[in-house]
Amino acid sequence: MARPVLDFWFDFASTYSYPAAMRIGSLAEAAGIDVRFRPFLLGPIFKAQGWETSPFNLYPAKGRNMWRDLERLCADLSQPFARPDPFPQNSLLAARVALAVPETKREDFCTAIFRMQFANGRRIDQPDAIGTILAGLETDPTALLAAAQTDAIKDKLRAVTAEAQRLGIFGAPTFITADGELFWGNDRLERALAWTQRGK
């Protein structure tokens, strides 16, 4: 029987997508679930509701709480945490490369980008740094960075982002089950996996 599948939607710049990305692999494996990493861009979705930047910047009290909460959360998970500067990072190039990377390497590429940003506090918009990650995954950095600039990949990312919006996604991380149930937030990951297993 085919293993059940859970879609994991995220923007690389999204703060709570970091613990979700670090946790989902082993939790899904233990539950016998396949995860599809679905990078998209939150920017156009935020713009459509009138936000020009992250709501964590627009609403300072909410933002202060998020940074503190994320710090506590990462401490509880024994995950290193560094606050990205600037925030939000420009996630366009990383998202395009993630779509160009072979599917078998996508999860490793995505978690490496999250670690670079939130564990090591480095920018994620630099081709050199992304190239180093690609080389470490035994892929061809030059070819993939070039592929990321093609119309095919640019169009693909636009289509994926439009799909996210059509699915009702308004933030990240978001988990969507095969039967269309949407769960928003790192703190709903366990519930999304349970739903995927039980079908309710």
Return all residues near 43 (Cβ < 8 A) that are at least 6 apart: 11
Query: φ, ψ for residue 174 (rounded to 5)?
Result: -130, 135
CB of 170 to its own copies, least distance (A): 4
CA 154 to mean position of chain CA atoms:
17
Site string for its own copies, 155-174 (x = CB under 8 A): -------------xxxx---
Size of the site for its own copies (CB under 8 A): 21
Query: Does residue 32 belong to the site contacting its own copies (CB under 8 A)?
Result: no
Question: In terms of C-beta density within 10 A (0-12 exposed, 13-18 middle, 19 or more buried), how is residue 179 classed?
Answer: exposed
CB of 190 to its own copies, least distance (A): 11
CB of 83 to its own copies, least distance (A): 18
What is the rounded distance in angstroms from the CA atom of residue 147 to the CA atom of residue 157?
12
Query: Does residue 10 belong to the site contacting its own copies (CB under 8 A)?
Result: no
Rg (CA), the chain: 16
Site string for its own copies, 53-92 (x = CB under 8 A): ------x-xx-xx--xx--x---x----------------
Q: Specify the pairing of strand 174-177 against strand 34-39.
A: unpaired
CB of 185 to its own copies, least distance (A): 8
CB of 171 to its own copies, least distance (A): 7
Contact 194, 29 (CB under 8 A): no
What is the rounded distance in angstroms from the CA atom of residue 8 to the CA atom of residue 197?
15
Query: Does residue 47 belong to the site contacting its own copies (CB under 8 A)?
Result: no
Site string for its own copies, 95-134 (x = CB under 8 A): ----------------------------------------
What is the rounded distance in angstroms from the CA atom of residue 14 to the CA atom of residue 181?
21
CB of 183 to its own copies, least distance (A): 7
Q: Which residues bind its own copies (CB under 8 A)?
A: 49, 59, 61-62, 64-65, 68-69, 72, 76, 168-171, 182-185, 187-188, 191
